[in-house]
Chain A
Amino acid sequence: MTIDMAQFHQVFFDESFEGLDIMESGLLDMDAGNADLEQINAIFRAAHSIKGGSGTFGFTNISDFTHVMETLLDEMRDGRRQVSADAINVLLRSVDVLREMLTAASEDGELNEAHVREQQAELERVLNEGAQAGASSAEETAAPPETRQPTGWHIVFRPHAHMMRTGNDPVRILRELSSLGELEVEADLSDLPSLDEIEPEDCYLSWDLRLTGDVSRDQLDDVFAWVEDDCDLAIMPMLPEQPAAAPDPAPAVEAGATEPVAPQVKAVPAPEERRNGVDRRGEGDRRKGDRRKSATASQGSSSIRVDISKIDALINMVGELVITQSMLSLLGEDFDMSRVERLQEGLSQLERHTREMQESVMQIRMLPISFTFSRFPRLVHDLSTKMGKKIELKMTGETTEVDKTVIEKIGDPLVHLVRNSLDHGIELPADRIAAGKPETGTVELNASHRGGNIIIEIKDDGKGLNPDVLLNKAIERGLVPADANLTDQQIYELIFMAGFSTAEQVSDVSGRGVGMDVVRRNINELGGSIEIWSELGKGSSFTIRLPLTLAILDGQTVSVGEETYIVPLVSIIESIQIQADMINLVAGKGETFKLRDEYLPIVRLHQVLGIEGAKATELTEGLLVVVEGEGRRCGLFVDDLLGQQQVVIKSLEANYRKVDGISGATILGDGSVALILDVPGLIRLAGRGGARDEREMRLSA
């Protein structure tokens, strides 16, 4: 029977990665002294499952590695070993290595094998410290020395009375033996009681067996492996030189033989393992092929684990939809105007069901943000140890559901922000005490739904941002003129400018050459925004606002000439009809308008996007949509506002390419395509004096 084991690989990887998360969070709890026995059991079980699965599915390096972890965990679980901080740290690092190994196996990627060996050696070091030496070596030396090949075996097999109550049947064993070679059976009925004393569930027979043929000791051990403790057993080789029949195999031999046999039977694991080893090698090539196949199959089609209740909701919805559809088609078969009311009713039902179904389908893409948050306890633990700081991480709202793509893309920005808080925010314990604060700093990570958005907040009670220092640095870097007169809030915004964080402040922790400008850009690419708040000496917080889903957007349709564009509602502050006295022409900076106390630049959409036939060319003829992106505001000049609607976001890049100032496209009710504006991109485009200039700049660069 050939079974393609590759078909189980994806499930194995999924559950193994989940197991790693369980191990990691459990180990962190153990580190904090919070773990109870059930949690340690859960960690052990996760390691155990990974080991079992990886062995079965052919990832022997993973099962070998996990084996050492499992042994260590098993001893901790049984209380045979003290749980030391060292052991936990080694186990945590091993979880990382295991994750690398699983990732490499699932993506058919490269694995740093030296790294694995190093970590395995580290595990073995911990394992050997304080372990009773000898236990394992004794087992190994017990392997029987292989001598002359016997012509057969003389076996005395005396089942204990209860054997059948273990589900084992002596007849099965005899049957198996007879399948190995020629079997002579002599039954010993001497223990059979009289009929009225007989217990039908007990076994009274014993056998004297002679098995001839090319049968190895290992094969016999296999046959008796399950019953070795449920019988008296003697197995003696029949060697070529000797006469086939041993003179008297009765009680004396049996008693003598059981003793040397016992340790040999204990050695069953060794030959078994050897045999499996051969199997593994034999199948190695095939497996490699299988794995590659499954890897290519999984590329591009990333999978998602969906709560079954979400699928059920969807199925219900489809059921409703089908009913409505059949009702409508019945109506259509024989329609007259008297039934127009029925039709309208049906159509509104259809609309409601379609909308509900859309929501349910969107729900499938939603995952709890704990998928992202779960890495932070570890990160904070490792970094605070490294930095000599005392930091408590508080997380709330881990069950908040966000789009799968957000989960995938928000990780790096969040890591950067949390690292920043640990590195630049929270002070050293001594400094905190000196400042009259508790010795342990707090970093909070909160997620919540607010309005149609997801809010993620990263907050610390550290030293806060110092506006003077930031401003001086920005002036030094030439990012703002020396005489700039900025509010504190405007100064905080400077940290998001490209070129603000430089080598000087790149540390081991928050360095890595990624600046806050990249963080903001990543968040903008998800259609979100980030805001900053800080108070000197008290702490800082970053608030990330993200759309609920990336597949659908609430948009404002606007018209310019013959064209229709979508402005994401989330970036619109307000829309105004502009009065002549609001307009200002600033030399070198173009048109601005005064909104309350602020002067904002005007971006003429028809100019920046090169649209011909705009109806409104005088500012007072059209409308200004006041938008904000990347902390900058401006007024988008359009002909008219058309309406608000939810639009399904389509990619322009799938068949074409990225277009400056455009984030995607959508299909309107009439089937035509409308482009969705990328507000931050447009502001950048306008700031550089339109696309044409920009292209020239790019060419000359």
Chain B
Amino acid sequence: MASILAVDDSASMLQMVAFTLKGAGYDVVEASDGLQALEVARKQSVNLVITDVNMPRMDGITLIKELRALPAYKFTPLLMLTTESSPEKKQQGKAAGATGWIVKPFNPDQLLNTVKKVLG
């Protein structure tokens, strides 16, 4: 089954995302900020990254930029979790190499639909 790296500094969101994806049979690796996620992503390759944008230490956009620069992540789908209020974040994210976004708030079904769509 595909493996997914979930990144969020909010424990409740991370729990929800991980729980939902694990429930659907995906392998989920968790990280609570961009720096930690980058370390994880360097050690093991994953099929999809879902990251929050606003995080301490390293934000989601920087994470996407860093990941996209890694050869192993050249074509990997990188999704950001973002809110309606920040269209400019989507633009920044896209510019950094994001595949797309999942709009907060979302429910588990929306999350799974998007993930299934991306992973085919």
Q: Which residues of A contact B (CB under 8 A)?
A: 1, 3, 5, 7-9, 11-12, 14-15, 41-42, 44-45, 48-49, 51-57, 63, 67, 70-71, 74, 164-169, 172, 175-176, 201, 225-227, 229-230, 266, 269, 272-273, 276, 279-280, 283
Contact = CB atoms under 8 A, between A and B. Distances in A.
Question: Which 6 pairs of residues, A with B, have the shortest CB-CB distance?
Answer: A55-B105, A226-B100, A167-B99, A12-B12, A167-B77, A56-B105
Given A42-B56, A49-B10, A71-B85, A167 B15 contact: no
B48 to A, nearest CB: 9
Contacts of A11: 11-12, 15
B75 interface: yes
Given A165-B74, A269-B87, A229 B94 contact: yes
A1 B108 contact: yes
A134 to B, nearest CB: 16
Given A49-B54, A168-B100, A276 B105 contact: yes
Interface in B21-72: 23-24, 52, 54-56, 68
Contacts of A176: 117
Contacts of A167: 75-78, 97-100, 118
11 contacts: A7-B19, A9-B12, A12-B12, A52-B10, A52-B104, A53-B10, A57-B12, A167-B98, A225-B100, A226-B100, A227-B100
Contact of A56 (B75, B76, B98, B106): B106
Given A67-B85, A165-B97, 4 more contacts: A1-B24, A3-B23, A5-B108, A48-B54
Interface string B72-89: 001111100101110100
Contacts of A3: 16, 19-20, 23, 108
Nearest to B91: A229
Contacts of B76: 167
Question: Which of B12, B68, B98, B109 has the largest number of chain A CB atoms within 10 A?
Answer: B12
Nearest to A179: B117
Interface residues of B, number: 45
Instruction: Label chain A's interface by main secondary structure.
Output: helix
A11 B55 CA distance: 17
A172 B120 contact: yes
Contact of A45 (B9, B11, B78): B9
Contact of A172 (B78, B101, B118): B118
Contact of B55 (A45, A164, A283): A45
Contacts of A14: 11
Contacts of B52: 52
A205 to B, nearest CB: 16
A572 B47 CA distance: 68
Nearest to B24: A1
Contacts of B83: 48, 51-52, 55
A49 B23 contact: no
A67 B120 CA distance: 34
A41 to B, nearest CB: 8
A508 to B, nearest CB: 39
Contacts of A272: 84, 103
Nearest to A60: B105
Given A67-B85, A166-B94, A49 B13 contact: yes
